[in-house]
Amino acid sequence: MVGGGKDAFIGSIHRIAANMDGLVEVVAGALSINPEIAKESGKAIFLDPERTYLTYEEMLEKESKLPAEKRIEFVTIVTPNFAHFAPAMAALDKGFHVVIEKPITFTLDEAKQLKKKVEETGLILCLTHTYSGYPMVRQARAMMRDGVFGKIRKVVVEYPQGWLSKLSEREGNAQAVWRTDPKKSGKAGAMGDIGTHAAHLAEFITGLKITHLCADLNALVPGRMLDDDGNVLLKFDNGAAGVLIASQVAAGEENALRIRVYGEHGGLEWAQMEPNSLIVKWLDKPTQILRAGTNGFLHGEAIFNARTPGGHPEGYLEAFANLYRNFAIALSSRIDGTPAPPHVNFPTVDDGIRGMAFIDSVVKSGQSKEKWTPFEI
């Protein structure tokens, strides 16, 4: 693991998710740029002191020289956005597969370079767009793929949060400090942080691609350097229209990600804070509520990614763990020389490139007087 020391938020989430199925063990880490925090963090998660490294360069160099049965097989990168690209490229250069937090890199150009490196090495890269791991998101995706609603006409996705309703970056909130700093977060704030999740979910479920957008970005808290709110009109490659809302100043909201998709014959609705339910709406039939765990009614992809019997809540950690499990199964199949089982999939470098292109296009549109901006990769 690169990053994710004891003073970090997302590192522990990754470790819990990776450990959930007993398929992955964290055996080495460069957990902080602060040497003392790196050592203390390694000790806290019971790493061998000899494999608690002070830099990712040292870790990759020394691990690459260990016998095959002992050295690491992949690297998870959980650093802030500006520190994704270099360790990912270095890991691939040393022959290690990669799991990486989103957004995949700091710029679109870096994402393209990373894709080229993945293709050159033939290694596997997983991008942790967490919400794609939920069983009922997989059910929604399968129903869309099977065409049960006819041609998709409308997509509405929203991700409101309220945690940045004050100028928290000047009040000692470490997460707010780097996420609102363009030197560390990139050219977008809320749109880069959570807007990319919303855009990915819209494309993941529908199977469609955004082709054009029209964005209104706002920094509503005085003194903030990056957008904390935005509204985006979308056009998809089948002609469907969409709306995407991302805000971190929706006071009182937690992580209220929600998507609605409508086709010719009906539509569906899923909310991250009620993840076990998928509401299915029909033009000429009563509304249905599909529930995770009721396997006789669900697609195999949803069943494969469900962990508990019906009525037992599954949430964020389990969705995260599904990505690690699918990645681990794919990697084990690669090592064993056997085909991966059906339904094993996860976001890849291509999803990362589209995420960075979304950020670029949204910022460009937000700064333009033109109504529509092409979604360009």
> Tokens 């006071």, residue?
251
What pTM value is reported for the model? 0.96
* Residue 316, domain member (yes or no): no
Assess contact for 292 and 135: CB atoms under 8 A: yes
Radius of gyration of the chain (CA): 21
* Residue 161, domain member (yes or no): yes
Q: Are residues 235 and 291 in the same domain?
A: yes
CATH number of the domain that residue 166 is part of: 3.30.360.10
Q: Are residues 85 and 141 in the same domain?
A: no
Q: pLDDT for 167-224, tens place per residue?
A: 999 999 999 999 999 999 999 999 999 999 999 999 999 999 999 999 999 999 999 9
Q: Are residues 14 and 111 in the same domain?
A: yes
Domain residue limits at 187 = 135-308+351-366
CATH number of the domain that residue 111 is part of: 3.40.50.720
Q: Are residues 254 and 148 in the same domain?
A: yes
Q: Are residues 359 and 242 in the same domain?
A: yes
Separation of alpha carbons 242 and 203, rounded Å: 11
Assess contact for 268 and 278: CB atoms under 8 A: yes
Q: Are residues 168 and 89 in the same domain?
A: no
Q: Comparing C-alpha atoms, which of 108, 110, 114, 68 is closest to residue 91?
A: 114
Q: pLDDT for 135-166, tens place per residue?
A: 999 999 999 999 999 999 999 999 999 999 99
Of the three residues 79, 102, 123, the one that is the final residue of a domain is: 123
pLDDT at residue 295, rounded to an integer? 84
Q: With 90 as the cut, is the pLDDT of residue 296 above it?
A: no
H, E, C per residue of the chain: CECCCCCCCHHHHHHHHHHCCCCCCCCCEECCCCHHHHHHHHHHCCCCHHHECCCHHHHHHHHHCCCCCCCCCEEEECCCHHHCHHHHHHHHHCCCEEEECCCCCCCHHHHHHHHHHHHHHCCCEEECCHHHHCHHHHHHHHHHHCCCCCCEEEEEEEEECCCCCCCHHHCCCHHHHHHCCHHHHCCCCHHHHHHHHHHHHHHHHHCCCEEEEEEEEECCCCCCCCCCEEEEEEEECCCCEEEEEEECCCCCCCCCCEEEEEECCEEEEEECCCCCEEEEEECCCCCEEEECCCHHHCCHHHHHCCCCCCCCCCCHHHHHHHHHHHHHHHHHHHHHCCCCCCCCCCCCHHHHHHHHHHHHHHHHHHHCCCCCEECCC
**Residue 115, amino acid:** K
Q: With 90 as the cut, is the pLDDT of residue 8 above it?
A: no
Strand order through the sheet with 258-263: 288-291, 277-282, 266-271, 258-263, 152-160, 241-247, 229-236, 210-218, 373-374
State the pLDDT confidence band at 23, using cuts at 50, 70 and 90: very high
**Residue 219, amino acid:** A
Assess contact for 3 and 32: CB atoms under 8 A: yes
Of the three residues 97, 123, 149, the one that is the final residue of a domain is: 123
Q: Are residues 108 and 139 in the same domain?
A: no
Q: Are residues 170 and 82 in the same domain?
A: no
Q: Number of structural domains, the chain?
A: 2
Output the CA–CA distances (angstroms, integers) from residue 148 to 115, 283, 304, 373, in the order listed.
34, 12, 21, 31
Strand order through the sheet with 97-100: 74-77, 97-100, 125-127
* Residue 31, domain member (yes or no): yes
Q: Are residues 119 and 57 in the same domain?
A: yes
Of the three residues 67, 92, 123, the one that is the final residue of a domain is: 123
* Residue 92, domain member (yes or no): yes
Q: pLDDT for 44-74, tens place per residue?
A: 999 999 999 999 999 999 999 999 999 999 9
* Residue 333, domain member (yes or no): no
Q: Are residues 174 and 239 in the same domain?
A: yes
* Residue 101, domain member (yes or no): yes
pLDDT at residue 7, rounded to an integer? 82
* Residue 331, domain member (yes or no): no
Using omega within 30 degrees of 0 as the cis cutoff, is the peptide bond preceding 103 cis?
A: yes
Q: Are residues 219 and 89 in the same domain?
A: no
The HSE-up count of residue 26 (CA atoms within 13 Å, CB side) is 30
Q: Are residues 98 and 233 in the same domain?
A: no
Q: What's the farthest any 2 CA atoms get from each other in the chain?
A: 65
